[in-house]
Structure 1
Amino acid sequence: MNKVNVVWFRQDLRLSDHKALYYALKDAEQSGAEVMGLFHIHPSLNDSFTVRHDYFFRTLEDLVNQAAEQQFPIHFISGEVEEAFQHLLDQDFTVQSVFYNKDEVGFGRERDQSVTKWLEAQDIPVESFVDAHIHGAEGVHKKDGGYYKVFTPYYRMWSSLDKPAVYSIDKKKLSELGTDFTDQFQKGEKAFRDLLSNCTKEWNHIGERSAIQRLAHFLHNKVHHYEENRDFPAKNATSMISPYLKNGVLSPRTVYHKAMEVIEENGGESKGLETYISEIAWRDFYNMIHYIYPNSKHEEVSEQYQGIDWNQDEDYFEKWKEGETGYPIVDAAMKQLNTIGWMHNRLRMVVASFLTKDYLVDWRKGERYFEERLIDYDASSNIGGWQWAASTGTDAVPYFRVFNPTRQSERFDPEGEFIKSYLPQLKDVPKKYIHEPSKMSAEEQEQYNCKIGEDYPEPSVDHKTMRKRAIEVFEKQKDS
């Protein structure tokens, strides 16, 4: 019987710089085994089908097509873990080892531990690797062995550590060692096709080739102005690679080393490149925090803020979700999220602050809505960002520093370009009123084709009043 090294793909949908694939091929060369690509369709992860699932399965489809070009087909198993992996072991080949890039947090961590334990009980060796981050959750620590809870000292240590090299995949060897047992996995193939049939959106720039092109365009055309432009959503100044990183279409090692190449080409660091690299470190930092605080999706990291009396008003939450708060920058940001499944990072902070401070709605509700809607939803970064904005997390914004949505709008969308791109009812409103259209007189509303209360809502809350109330709520909780 054929000996086979199985590479279990998950959120690492690429054939380049793929650590598990690299080591599976290396082992196969030495042992005379073949290499097989595998994807497990887990029912618990597909109970619902949101825009995030749509994007993920279209990305997976791109990997399937790329792999087929290399004579390295992806095989599918489906169902509960033991049932699905038993089907793998029941075929007419011998599974020599299973290789995968591990999840260090959340559901993925629990699944990995469960599958590994089960496979090893069947005498199947398992090799797992840190691949989704430059440095894993245990990779950066203080000299005394403790963990950092503040980003700045974490980043200093992160920057001082040697970075892992890119794992170069020999595509010729991949084709030579790849094996095809797809006839034996028809049930899994059908499950995959059924999921694809639920996909309704047309996505541009899907997959690994698009990711490499987009990264190159950013690094050679935008990165040097990244520091000064990145907070302005109308400028299209960010790399837009977060969906690729989330789904593993791009390796963070590749991103890091490509950025370092640009630094060398330009004879030294620029502020833009330095800031961009720090964003890669933020991903690692929040992954570590989630690892240390495994319950952080459900409870505040800061114990003193556990049990805050959040506002339970569903009407406020609905206004926020639909982009009908009466604050243009908040509403335009939520329309962006609901339209394209992505939101500019500055705006993520603005809308999170608005929900938790201006509406005093529980941050968990916002975090879960982002989980539904974001195609780049990364649990660790998202939880970290929400707890930062809610002032309940590690290294969070102090509770008494509350974002003023109007000031944020004036500062980061001064001409109202972004606002107008998602709120067409405000397209004729001049700069003077674009950040606070409710200040227009009745005559001006007529003149600029925007009647407040009809075409665009009145502000649903008064920011000054709610800022004061939010501070009172946090101070009461702090003193209790």
Structure 2
Amino acid sequence: MVVNSVHWFRKGLRLHDNPALQEALNGADTVRCVYILDPWFAGAANVGINRWRFLLEALDDLDSSLKKLNSRLFVIRGQPTDVFPRLFKEWKVTRLTFEYDPEPYGKERDGAIIKMAQEFGVETIVRNSHTLYNLDRIIEMNNNSPPLTFKRFQTIVSRLELPRRPLLPVTLQQMDKCHIKIADNHDQLYSIPSLEELGFRTEGLPPAVWRGGESEALDRLNKHLDKKVWVANLEHPRVSTCSLYASPTGLSPYLRFGCLSCRVLYYNLRELYMKLRKRCSPPLSLFGQLLWREFFYTAATNNPNFDRMEGNPICVQIPWDQNPEALAKWAEGRTGFPWIDAIMTQLRQEGWIHHLARHAVACFLTRGDLWISWESGMKVFEELLLDADWSVNAGSWMWLSCSAFFQQFFHCYCPVGFGRRTDPSGDYIRRYIPILKDYPNRYIYEPWNAPETVQKAANCVVGVDYPKPMINHAEGSRLNIERMKQVYQQIVTELWAAQEVEWSPTNLQVGDSIPGSSCLYAEVSLGKILTPNLPLMCHRCVNVYECVCEWVTCSVKRFEWSI
């Protein structure tokens, strides 16, 4: 029987560690590699030019790699449900392979394609390589629900076997066994579109800070692994001015588009650590960013409303303000706070910002200052961030806004002090907000406090050349902390009213409202909440679920919530 395979690239834009592509090659007579410009991505108004450029560069790099294997990439416009019936007939396809997509939209789309393929008599093979672990297995081990704290997630992962080892790249010998003749008009029929063809104006577009593609990803990985001291000592470099700029060893956009296999990164880190530490097994903390990625994928995989408040069972329903004007000022870097404006300018220009910079602007938009919904911030990041990933982006915004994955809402990033501690000289501000470049260090983070003579000497008068602060941070953050406290207080009150609990002075394993007291109590032993559906808070450190002020009696911590 003749086997004509089609491998469908979506994410996973690489030839190394690609199990689904290897399945396409296995015993096949012909193999064609396809990328479909899905309208879900191609027609989305919220995908910015930097993300598009990165994708097109990744496709171009993939096509170049396939050329070296005497093959090509077939780029086809249309919707998968419309494209595949035509390809199945035209190419007499008998096998379709693709990488497993764990996100709800992807699972729904792929389910429809699998059903269609069956109707055409086409075998479908799906393999997981976008995540380290089987997400369904993690959920199963957590009583069939996703773990919603990172600590719980780590506990489960520590009991799993190691991720599967990555596969070797596809070779010329493999591809030659299922070679197809490339038509002379291939570029006319299946070429990668340009930014101009997609409707973007490229006049004045600066060179890409991040170049897309597997080749660039692997080159960056090698540079990343050269940081042997960091790997050996598990030391994360302190955030400094240099940390804020795009790094030649940064990898997040390449993981998002699958130009770099997460398993290749995992095992390179693991093996280098073991080599430097004389075969000691590395701790989970070595893989922190990879695990956060897995954590959010796990939380999102069965939740189609993960990217919104409405219908999202894990999201606290916070009554955010509607303020389009304030949202626009934040998104366009016109808040009047140089630290925030520099971050948002870098994001818009380059498509990337440091993770602590993300924390700062997310806090400012939501619970810190503007009290605007995380959904709005998530959409801006989706447009501008190269590494914007549906699960990770939404999960991060819920987390940073204290809408899920319970956080310390009493802590807010100061839009002046945080930046000043990170970059005392203000060089980052001067780079991205050049109108402020002549301000002395003393006033670069709060130019509104500079005397008029200093402002005029710097050729930048606040309120004329640069906006005044759009909000009083001290007052706004204090008000928002109280608003957030009221939200959680209401949640606790409602949940407590729903509990049918009897209080026993000799058995405090079940929480209750103690008669005559203004507090709710719950006993926590060995870090495990015994009333798991009740989000109680330590009254001293105001930290949900986990006491950090070490209020300990014997081996039991007492959590209370004042009402």
TM-score scaled to structure 1, two decimals? 0.90
- Contact map agreement 1:37 1:73 (CA 8 A) in 2: yes
Residue 214 (structure 1) aligns with? 220
Aligned to 2:230: 224
User: Which string of whole-angstrom CA distances, capped at 9 and with x for unpartnered residues, describes residues 373-398 of structure 1?
Assistant: 111111111101111111102x2423
Alignment match, 1:472: 482
Residue of structure 2 in register with 1:234 after alignment: 242
Query: Could you tell me which residue of structure 1 aligns to residue 304 of structure 2?
Result: 294
Residues 179 and 185 (structure 1), Cα distance of their counterparts in 2 relative to 1, 3 Å cut:
farther
Distance 1:96 1:341, change over 3 A: same
What does 1:45-194 align with in structure 2 at a 5 Å threshold? 45-47=41-43, 48=45, 50-51=48-49, 52-91=51-90, 93-141=91-139, 142=141, 144-161=143-160, 162-180=162-180, 182-183=182-183, 189=189, 192-193=192-193
Contact 2:334–2:467, Cα closer than 8 Å, also in 1: yes
Deviation at 1:343, TM superposition (A): 1.3
Which amino acid counterpart does residue 353 of structure 2 have in structure 1? M
Q: Kindly indicate whether structure 1 or structure 2 has the higher relative contact order, using CA contacts under 8 Å at least 6 residues apart.
A: 1
Q: Contact (CA 8 Å) 2:56, 2:212: kept in 1 or not?
A: no
Stretch deviating more after TM superposition (107-116 or 166-175): 166-175
- After TM superposition, give the deviation of residue 269 of structure 1 in Å: 9.1
Task: Please state how far the C-alpha of 1:119 moved relative to its aligned partner.
Answer: 0.9
Would you say the 8 A contact 1:223–1:276 is kept in 2?
no
Q: 1:37 aligns with which of 33, 38, 49?
A: 33
The verdict on how the C-alpha distance between 1:78 and 1:223 changes in structure 2, with shifts beyond 3 A counting, is: farther
Mean Cα deviation higher: 173-182 or 437-446: 173-182
Q: Which residue, 459, 464, 476 being the options, matches 1:454?
A: 464
| Residues 1:363 and 2:374 aligned together | yes
CA distance in 1, matches of 2:18, 2:257: 13
Task: Tell me the alpha carbon deviations over residues 126-168 of structure 1, each in whole angstroms, 9 at most, x when there is no partner.
Answer: 1111111111322424365543211123123324431210111
Give distance in 2, aligned partners of 1:42 and 1:351: 31
Aligned residue for 1:431, secondary structure, equals coil
Over residues 53-84 of structure 1, what are the superposed CA-to-partner deviations in whole Å (9 max), with x where a residue is unaligned? 22212211211121112112122333233320
In 2, the alpha carbon distance for the partners of 1:58 and 1:123 equals 35
Report the counterpart of residue 433 of structure 2 in structure 1: 423
Contact 1:8 1:38 in 2 (8 A): yes
Aligned partners of 2:178 and 2:228: how far apart in 1?
A: 39
Tell me how far apart the structure 1 counterparts of residues 81 and 246 of structure 2 sit (CA, whole Å).
Answer: 46
Structure 1 residue 227, shift from structure 2 partner: 3.9
> How far 1:196 moved relative to its partner?
6.8
State whether residues 88 and 120 of structure 2, in contact with CA within 8 Å, keep that contact through their aligned partners in structure 1: no
CA distance, structure 2, for counterparts of residue 411 and residue 105 of structure 1: 38
Which residue of structure 1 aligns with residue 333 of structure 2?
323
Alignment of 1:245-394 (within 5 A): 245-267=255-277, 275-299=285-309, 301=312, 305-306=316-317, 308-357=318-367, 358-393=369-404
Q: What residue number does 1:414 align with?
A: 424
SS of the equivalent of 2:239 reads: coil
My pick for the range that moved more, 230-239 or 121-130, is 230-239
| Structure 1 portions without partners, runs of 5+ | none
Letter in structure 2 aligned against 1:115: I
User: Any idea what SS the aligned residue of 1:77 has?
Assistant: strand
Distance 1:335 1:274 in 2: 34
Distance 1:223-1:214 versus aligned 2 partners, 3 A rule = farther
What SS does the aligned partner of 1:257 have? Answer: helix
Equivalent-residue separation in structure 1 for 2:250 and 2:268 (angstroms):
16
Name the structure where helix makes up a greater proportion of residues. Answer: 1
Deviations 1:207-231 (A, max 9, x none): 1121111111122137618844253
In the aligned structure 2, how far is the partner of 1:288 from the partner of 1:299? 18
Shift of 1:400: 2.7
Whichever residue aligns with residue 13 of structure 1, its letter is L
Query: Partners in 1 of 2:196 and 2:158 — Cα distance?
Result: 41
Shift of 1:102: 1.6
Counterpart-to-counterpart distance in 2, 1:429 and 1:405: 17
1:216 corresponds to which letter in structure 2?
N
Tell me, which stretches of 5 or more residues in structure 2 are unaligned?
A: 492-563
The Cα shift of 1:41 comes to 1.9
Structure of higher CA gyration radius: 2
TM-score by length of 2: 0.77
Conserved 8 A contact 1:227-1:272: no
**Cα distance 1:413–1:63, how it changes in 2: closer, same or farther (>3 A)?**
same
User: Is the 8 Å Cα contact of residues 231 and 345 (structure 1) preserved in structure 2?
Assistant: no
Q: Distance in 2 between matches of 1:43 and 1:222?
A: 43
> Mean Cα displacement is larger for which, 414-423 or 278-287?
414-423
Farther-moved stretch of structure 1 (113-122 vs 408-417): 408-417
* Matched position secondary structure for 1:193: coil
Relative to structure 1, the CA distance from residue 304 to residue 104 in structure 2 (aligned partners, 3 Å threshold; closer, same or farther) is: closer
- Give yes or no for contact 2:104–2:303 (8 Å, CA) kept in 1: no
RMSD: 2.8
Distance 2:42 2:246 in 1: 34
- In percent, how many aligned pairs have the same letter? 27
Once residues 185 and 100 of structure 1 are traced to their aligned partners in structure 2, the CA distance between those partners, rounded to angstroms, is: 26
Query: Post-superposition shift, 1:105?
Result: 0.8
Tell me the alpha carbon deviations over residues 403-441 of structure 1, each in whole angstroms, 9 at most, x when there is no partner: 222222122223222222211122222222222221111
Counterpart residue type for residue 290 of structure 1: A
Distance in 1, Cα, partners of 2:406 & 2:289: 16
Cα separation, 2, equivalents of 1:195 and 1:292: 34
